[in-house]
Amino acid sequence: MNNVKALKTLLVTFYMSFSSLGSAGVDRIDPPNWWAGMAASDLQLMVYGNGMRGCQVSTNYPGVAVDSVTRGDSQNYLFINLTLAEAVKPGGVDLQFVCDGKVLHDASYPLLARREGSSERQGFSSKDVIYLVVPDRFANGDPSNDQVAGVIEGPDRNDDYGRHGGDIQGIIDHLDYLEALGVTQLWLTPVLENNYQHSTYHGYAISDLYAVDPRMGSNALYAELADKAAEKGIGIIHDLVLNHISIAHPWIGDIPEKDWVHHDRKFVRTNDRHEAIIDPHASASDKERMVTGWFDHHMPDLDQRNPLLARYLQQNAIWWVETAGLSGFRIDTWPYLHASFMPSFIDAVMSEYPNLNIVGEETDWNSRIVSYWQRGKKNADGFHAGVPSMMDFPLTHAIIDAFSEEESWNTGLSHLYRTLANDSVYADSSNLIVFADNHDRDRFLTAIDDQLDRFKMGIIFLMTTRGIPQIYYGTELAASHRGQRGDGIRRSDFPGGWAGDRKNAFTGERLSTDERDTLKFFKKLLNWRKTAPAIHDGRLVHFGPLEGIYAYFRIADNQTIMVLINNAKTLQSVDFQRFKEVIGASKMASNVLESQMIDLTKPFSIPKKSAVIFELQ
């Protein structure tokens, strides 16, 4: 059974379940369903409804036992702790509630069959290229959901910070474009409900952790996207927000327990002191303020030290993997989480999906800080967070500096060399996400003063260095916003995603020459990368920049790739004897993007401000 069919069955079952409980005051159970055959035998249900705190619950379902109940501080929350036998069968688990001495009708809680091979799903890896999309700004595939009853904010394309109408259907409609581009993973900024008055388009202030925003589509449509993307060899990375929720979340009006949200639901801003984790002189109050302060006034900060909340968040992540067929998570604002929660969360998810990948967002420029969180890192304080992958912000800053500065002995390409030289601090530098821009940063072309030649040099570096490359929607069109700033501008609409758009990148209509050439360049580069095992898994050997030339090699058992980058203002001659320790007996090399063979026994002339990729023969 595919994701969509399973979700349709779930919705019918769940509707019938709540219909039978209409008089009982049960309004909601999270998670809304579970699966037989999971690795963990425990399941926590959060039951919400009028006066549910005082109720008792029992079940007669074979293989399911009520282990205990926990009563929240609110009169309306009851937490049921179930134990599922290893051999429990899928079906409707009867839950009988007794409230105020009255025996109520049974609810039928859906326990589904897992998709075959679900636990063995493969996460994203260095074989992939990730494409980051802000769904509201990519394509409007269903204009009928732009304004939906029950949610506050409607569409306004003239407002940079308003909703523009992009949705999941718009992404489904253009999967052919993404496949042709050569991307193999799709990271969407959050698509869950953000029911607030304004600036909800980005998705990071979530008001329902179990529901896709109706202006984006539905849970079933999200699962359909994953199924259809998988048919094209594209995985889905879910943007997971564990640190905070929306001020509009129902928890804020009726808090399950008093310590559910930091500072008793009052706004106290974080100090953003990322470096406190490695600072031997840091005060305890600085460390505490970093993780207990709110990220913004409309994003209440969750206290993951509460064990009920911690389990809720763990199960929510697992639920989305099963429901939407995910290949991984990107975890927003990773260092703002409580350290005590981190390893337990990672262990809970990875015990269900050993091959899944999870990347944490740590925005600091310091490699020591980023590396602190990665799985396998041996920290001086003994702490082990366990997250497999991290966003490589230090290398992002080096990329911007390298391709915006003129070359000298300590500027330009030296930034790349020095940053990669710090890879010894990482437990696994091959499992870092490398990128030149994203939804929180200026467009790469903008950041390097709209120099298209330097832009292409940077993209070649991005696609051939160690790690997992990520590109931001529109970068393949040389998108820029020079002279303009702000998140809304960085997240501009993708051309052709709306009916009536003058320019259409999906069809090529009215694209400029630079846009057409850049798109062609990306397609060629990304699709070649799919075929290059040395780029996926080969070790990296690089030579310090000399006279404007940075050379590095990716070396695997059956393939060696050489990359030359010339950041000088003039054509440069390269003597390959400098690289003889890697080149060895090879005499010839082929340009992988052009029909050209070169003789490695002779000097090679590389034009100014250019990069070239060779495969040694």
Which amino acids are annotated catalytic?
Answer: 332, 361
For residue 13, what are the contacts with CB-CB under 8 A and spacing of at least 6?
Answer: 33, 92, 108, 110
25 burial (CB, 10 Å; 0-12 / 13-18 / 19+) is middle
CA distances from 506 to 130, 230, 272, 459 (A): 19, 20, 40, 21
160 burial (CB, 10 Å; 0-12 / 13-18 / 19+) is middle
CA distances from 339 to 262, 287, 299 (A): 15, 11, 20
DSSP structure string for 28-85: EEESS-EEET-S--EEEEEEEETTGGG-EEE---TTEEEEEEEE-SSTTEEEEEEEE-
Side chain identity at residue 24, one-letter code: A
Distance from C-alpha of 443 to C-alpha of 436, rounded to nearest angstrom: 8
561: part of which helix (H) or strand (E)? strand 559-566
Distance from C-alpha of 250 to C-alpha of 584, rounded to nearest angstrom: 65
Task: Select from 275, 274, 290, 301 the least CA-distant residue to 204.
Answer: 301
Q: Do 400 and 412 touch, CB atoms closer than 8 A?
A: no
User: What backbone phi and psi angles, to 5 degrees, belong to 235?
Assistant: -95, 165
Q: Do 571 and 606 touch, CB atoms closer than 8 A?
A: yes
